[in-house]
Amino acid sequence: MKKFLLACILTFAFASVHAQIETPRPSPISTVTQKVGLTEFSVTYSRPSAKGRTIFGDIVEFDKIWRTGANMASIFSADTDFKINGENIPAGEYALFTIPGKEKWTIILNKTAKQSGASNYKKEEDQIRVDVTPQKLTSSVETFTIGFANLKDNQASVELLWENTSVSFDVTVEFDEKVMKQIDDVMAGPGAGAYYNAASYYYKNNKDLNKALIWVNKSLESAERYWVMSLKAQIQAGLDDYSGAILSAAKAKELASTEGDDAYVKLNEDRASEWASKVSQKKSKK
C-alpha cells in the first residue's frame, strides 16, 4: 500500500512539473471566413497590436517581405478555383505574404502554405503577385485586421488594415455553370422551393424569363406565398406585362399584409405604382 501511495505521489509530482501554463498570446490567432458566390474563402492569421509603436516603416519595414501578421505566415485558402486580376488561382491553401511600401504594396500568394514567418520564403514558389496602392485611414486601427468587404455575388475585396493604412485586393469567382447544372439536375423532379429558386435565379441573372414565369407559377400551385407572388410580379414586369405585374403585386401585398410583413407590403405598393406609370406611358403613345 505504501509503495502504491508513493508511486501516486511521484506520478502527480512529475505531472505537475511538466504541466503547461496557458497565458494570453500577445498576437492572438484568428480565422475569418467568407462565402463569395459558391466559394468559401478563409484567412488564418495572428493579430499583433500597435501598442503605441510606429508600424509601417519601422516595426514592419518598407520594401521587405512580411508574413502579414505575427508568428506563422498568414494562410489564405479557397475551396474552389478563383481569380485575382483575371488570373486563375487553383483551389487550396496559400501563404499570404506582402511587401509593404510607401507608395506601393505587393500582395503575394505563395504555394507553400505553412511557413514559420518569412525566413524560408521562396519567390519561385509564388502563385501570384499583385501590386496595389495603399490608402490612408482617417482613424487608427490598433490591432491588425484582415476582412472581406464590398461583397457581390461573384466578387469581394480582401482588406488588410493596421495603424493608419489600408490595402486591399479583389477576388472573383465563377458560379453560373455550377448553378445551371444544379437547376438542370433538380428540375427533373422539383418541389415548390426548387421551382422558386430556379425562377429567382433566372430572373436575377437575366436568363429566359418565359421559363422563369412557368416555374414561378409551378411554385404557386402548392400554396400562394407572398414572396413567390412578388417574384412573379417582377418576372411579368421583365416581360413587359405591366398589367399582369400590377395584379400579382396587389396579391402579394394582400398576402404579405395577412402575414404582417410590412416591408413586403410597401415594396409591392411601390412596384405597382412604378408599373402603373409605365402602363400610362404605353397608353399615351398609342
Give the length of the chain.
286
Mark whether 49 and 166 lie in a shared domain.
Answer: yes
- Single residue among 119, 138, 172 that ends a domain in this structure: 172
- The predicted structure's pLDDT at residue 8: 53
Show which of 131, 154, 172 is a domain's final residue. 172
Q: Can you give the pLDDT at residue 238? A: 94
Whether residue 23 lies inside any domain: the answer is no
55 shares its domain with 132: yes
Q: Is residue 17 part of a domain?
A: no
Residue 240 — very low, low, confident or very high, per pLDDT cuts 50/70/90?
Answer: very high
Domain contains 11: no
Structural domain total, the chain: 2
Q: Where are the alpha helices (DSSP H) in the chain?
A: 2-17, 176-186, 192-204, 209-222, 226-238, 242-259, 262-285
**pLDDT band (50, 70, 90) for residue 7:** low
Q: Are residues 43 and 167 in the same domain?
A: yes
Are residue 160 and residue 221 in the same domain, yes or no?
A: no
105 is in which domain, residue-wise? 29-172
33 and 168, same domain (yes or no):
yes
Q: Find where cell 509564388 sits.
A: 126
In what helix (H) or strand (E) does residue 146 lie, and over which residues does it extend?
strand 135-149
Cell 488561382 found at: 89
Position 11 pLDDT exceeds 60: no
Residue 118 lies in a domain: yes
In a domain, 248, yes or no: yes
Mode of pairing for the β-strands spanning 70-78 and 105-110: unpaired
Q: Which of 172, 203, 226 is the last residue of a domain?
A: 172
Residue 180 in 3-state DSSP?
A: helix
Based on the fold, state whether residues 184 and 162 are members of the same structural domain. no
What are the CA-CA distances from residue 156 to residues 10, 94, 95, 107, 115 (Å)?
58, 18, 19, 16, 26
For residues 162 and 108, state if they share a domain: yes
pLDDT at residue 138 greater than cutoff 70: yes
15 part of a folded domain: no
When pLDDT is averaged across residues 39-55 and rounded to a whole number, the result is 95
| Same-domain check for residues 163 and 214 | no
Mean pLDDT along residues 26-47: 93
User: Are 124 and 64 in a shared domain?
Assistant: yes
CA distance 59 to 104: 18
Split at pLDDT 50, 70, 90, the class of 188 is: low
**Residue 12 domain-assigned (yes or no):** no
